[in-house]
């Protein structure tokens, strides 16, 4: 637990100007995607996302989180996600054109990386030992927002990688007591349902079984179970606070 | 008595019917029985000899002694027990109702065009099944949750790579690696991480080829039985390679 926050502090102290720069680039690219989604902007956003993932893998995990156990595995996890963005760019899978859907939910998720530091400050943490915009969970929630707002056809492998990350986040809340990760978990459960539902609907013309309605119910049940797990960790967290 | 054209027609249908079953996970003697039953319904004798990638079929008109032989490639199809059962039932219907070839063909088309399982449904169910394996082997609930999501990722990788026509040995290595890589998340928590890691690639175990290989050998179809077992063993080796790659990376704590 102590190592966890020390590595975060070292990372933030050394990289805050770069994090600030990356946040500004993200804002500019998002503005471009909303206002003038030219092919150049879309390619730039994909390259930026690949860079962000490789940054988390290379700089965050391999340099600053070296004292943590299994940092190499987490670095590889994020490097694979960076590779998926490069693959997406090469095969032109996700178009990154505005879908016009989830106009309230997606911007909220896109703004979430800025809420992370505010949440940390509200919990009484101080710089540099706090969550910042360019950290794994904030990048994950930003990616989910980006895919909700701009991807007609989502890359299901990338979605599942992020889903896996978010559910680990829930376990982190349970075991390490990091309530900031609720932000990611809260956003992932409905986002996961939306992604799967839209994926199923996009394939609705193919004759498959069970029917779309049954699948919808199944997805709701799975998300409900995840929600119960979420509530359980929340209650556990309250116990932790009362113990403290 | 059958004309040459009728014999060719029957052979064409039986070849398609038999190879469809062989490609979708039916053991050889069952395919032979079904094909012979269809032949009996149509008044011909069907002889079938099968290998891993192709089948040799002969249709013989016992009245005239005229025979037609064809070598047919076995297609790679998804395993579907429901479809296999339907196709077996079709052979009984053909015999019991003395169906003509056109009617058998029509019913066959209707059966093979029935909707398949939705890939998302398969994904979720496979995830739940593998998570259940974790629980059965003694994993705690944190490990079960991690295995569930690790399986979703690994199986999605398998589905996408298979859809892109990538060599299935590579698909197995990559899927096992990704699933076990995701399961290493369990190592960071106070849970049964070893069980999570060990059970994460179990969804890849080629159960149907293993069982069919044994049944084929026991029932005398030794060549195809051994071929199926060798193929299944290679897939198991691929799973081991993928899992080993992950274990090598976390070797300090596990090996």
ipTM of the complex: 0.85
* Whole-number pLDDT of residue A238: 59
Q: What is the pLDDT along chain A (244 residues), one digit of tens a residue?
A: 678 888 999 999 999 999 999 999 999 999 999 888 888 999 999 999 999 999 999 999 999 999 988 888 889 999 999 999 999 889 877 668 777 777 788 888 899 889 888 988 888 888 898 889 999 988 998 998 898 888 777 788 888 898 888 877 776 666 666 677 777 777 777 887 888 888 777 777 777 788 877 888 888 888 888 777 767 766 665 565 455 4
Q: At what angle do helices A136-150 and A182-202 cross, to 10 degrees?
A: 30
- With a CB cutoff of 8 Å and minimum separation 6, the contacts of B152 are A160, A163, A164, B123, B124, B127
Residue of B nearest to A197 (CA): B120
C-alpha of B202 from chain center = 16
Note down the domain range covering A13: 2-237
Work out whether the CA dihedral B94, B96, B97, B98 comes out positive or negative. positive
Answer yes or no: are the C-beta atoms of A237 and A179 closer than 8 Å: yes
Query: Which residues in chain B have their CB less than 8 angstroms from residue A156's CB?
Result: 156, 160
| A243 part of a folded domain | no
* Whole-number pLDDT of residue A3: 84
* Whole-number pLDDT of residue A171: 67
Residue of B nearest to A200 (CA): B120
Q: How far apart are CA A147 and CA A231, in angstroms?
A: 26
**Residue in the block written with tokens 């116990």:** A239
Work out whether the CA dihedral B11, B13, B14, B15 comes out positive or negative. positive
Note the pTM of the prediction, 2 decimals: 0.87
Q: How far apart are CA A73 and CA A234, in angstroms?
A: 27
Determine, for residues A208 and B189 on separate chains, whether the beta-carbon distance falls below 8 Å: no
| A92 part of a folded domain | yes
Query: Which residues in chain B have their CB less than 8 angstroms from residue A81's CB?
Result: none
pLDDT band at B136 (very low <50, low <70, confident <90, very high): very high
Distance from CA of B150 to the nearest CA of A (A): 7
Determine, for residues A164 and B184 on separate chains, whether the beta-carbon distance falls below 8 Å: no
By CB atoms closer than 10 A (0-12, 13-18, 19+), residue A2 is exposed
Q: How far apart are CA A106 and CA A111, in angstroms?
A: 9
* Whole-number pLDDT of residue A244: 43
Answer yes or no: are the C-beta atoms of B6 and B34 closer than 8 Å: no
Residue of A nearest to B180 (CA): A73
Q: How far apart are CA A170 and CA A228, in angstroms?
A: 11
Q: Is A169 helix (H, G, I), strand (E, B) or coil?
A: helix
Inform me whether the C-beta atom of residue B249 falls under 8 Å from chain A C-beta atoms: yes
Q: At what angle do helices A105-122 and A2-35 cross, to 10 degrees?
A: 150
The length of chain A, given as a count of residues: 244
- With a CB cutoff of 8 Å and minimum separation 6, the contacts of B221 are B28, B29, B50
β-sheet bridge partners, residue B117: A209
Distance from CA of A36 to the nearest CA of B (A): 32
Q: How far apart are CA A192 and CA B157, in angstroms?
A: 17
| A24 part of a folded domain | yes
| A195 part of a folded domain | yes
Measured at the alpha carbon of residue A44, what is the angle toward residues A40 and A49, in degrees to the nearest 5? Answer: 155
* Whole-number pLDDT of residue A223: 80
- With a CB cutoff of 8 Å and minimum separation 6, the contacts of A42 are A33, A95, A96, A97
| A65 part of a folded domain | yes
Per domain, the residue ranges of chain B are: 4-112, 119-254
Q: How far apart are CA B60 and CA B63, in angstroms?
A: 9
Indicate the range of B120-124, B128-132, B197-201, B213-217 predicted with least confidence: B120-124
Count the domains in chain A: 1
By CB atoms closer than 10 A (0-12, 13-18, 19+), residue B4 is exposed
Number of A–B residue contacts, CB under 8 Å: 86
Determine, for residues B181 and A207 on separate chains, whether the beta-carbon distance falls below 8 Å: no
**Residue in the block written with tokens 């492998």:** A157
Answer yes or no: are the C-beta atoms of B159 and B177 closer than 8 Å: no
Determine, for residues B184 and A229 on separate chains, whether the beta-carbon distance falls below 8 Å: no
Determine, for residues B152 and A157 on separate chains, whether the beta-carbon distance falls below 8 Å: no
Q: Which of B153, B160, B163 is the best substitution to test chain A (most A C-beta atoms within 10 A)? A: B153
Answer yes or no: are the C-beta atoms of A123 and A180 closer than 8 Å: yes
């Amino acid at each position: 637990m102590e190592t966890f926050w020390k590595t975060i502090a070292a990372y933030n102290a050394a990289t805050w100007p770069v994090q600030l720069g990356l946040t500004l680039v993200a804002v500019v690219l998002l503005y471009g995607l909303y206002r003038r989604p030219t092919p150049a902007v879309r390619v730039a956003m994909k390259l930026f996302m690949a860079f962000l993932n490789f940054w988390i893998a290379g700089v965050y995990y391999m340099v600053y989180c070296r004292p943590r156990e299994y940092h190499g595995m987490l670095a590889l996890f994020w490097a694979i996600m960076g590779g998926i963005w490069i693959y997406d760019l090469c095969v032109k899978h996700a178009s990154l054109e505005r879908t016009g859907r989830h106009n309230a939910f997606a911007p909220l998720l896109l703004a979430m990386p800025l809420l992370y530091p505010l949440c940390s400050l509200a919990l009484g943490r101080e710089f540099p030992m706090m969550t910042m915009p360019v950290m794994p969970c904030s990048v994950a929630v930003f990616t989910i927002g980006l895919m909700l707002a701009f991807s007609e056809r989502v890359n299901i492998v990338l979605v599942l990688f992020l889903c896996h990350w978010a559910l680990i986040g829930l376990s982190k809340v349970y075991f390490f007591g990091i309530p900031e990760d609720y932000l990611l978990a809260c956003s992932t459960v409905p986002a996961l349902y939306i992604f799967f539902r839209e994926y199923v609907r996009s394939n609705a013309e193919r004759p498959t079984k069970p029917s779309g309605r049954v699948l919808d119910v199944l997805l709701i049940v799975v998300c409900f179970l995840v929600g119960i797990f979420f509530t359980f960790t929340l209650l556990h967290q309250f116990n932790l606070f009362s113990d403290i | 008595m059958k004309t040459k054209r009728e014999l060719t027609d029957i052979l064409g249908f039986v070849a398609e019917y038999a190879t469809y079953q062989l490609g979708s996970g039916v053991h050889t003697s069952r395919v032979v029985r079904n094909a012979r039953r269809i032949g009996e319904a149509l008044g011909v004798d069907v002889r079938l000899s099968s290998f891993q990638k192709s089948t040799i079929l002969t249709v013989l008109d016992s009245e005239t002694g005229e025979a037609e032989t064809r070598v047919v490639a076995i297609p790679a199809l998804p395993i579907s027990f429901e479809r296999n059962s339907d196709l077996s039932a079709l052979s009984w219907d053909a015999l019991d109702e003395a169906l003509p070839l056109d009617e058998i063909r029509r019913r066959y088309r209707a059966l093979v065009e029935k909707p398949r399982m939705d890939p998302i449904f398969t994904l979720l169910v496979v995830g739940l099944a593998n998570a259940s394996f974790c629980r059965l082997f003694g994993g705690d609930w944190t490990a079960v949750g991690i295995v569930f999501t690790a399986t979703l990722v690994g199986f999605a990788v398998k589905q996408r790579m298979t859809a892109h026509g990538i060599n299935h040995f590579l698909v197995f290595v990559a899927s096992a690696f990704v699933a076990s890589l995701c399961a290493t998340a369990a190592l960071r928590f106070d849970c049964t991480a070893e069980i999570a890691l060990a059970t994460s690639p179990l969804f890849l175990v080629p159960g149907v080829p293993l069982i069919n290989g044994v049944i084929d050998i026991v029932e005398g179809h030794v060549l195809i039985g051994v071929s199926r077992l060798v193929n299944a063993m290679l897939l198991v080796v691929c799973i081991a390679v993928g899992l080993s790659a992950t274990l090598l990376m976390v070797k300090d704590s596990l090996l």
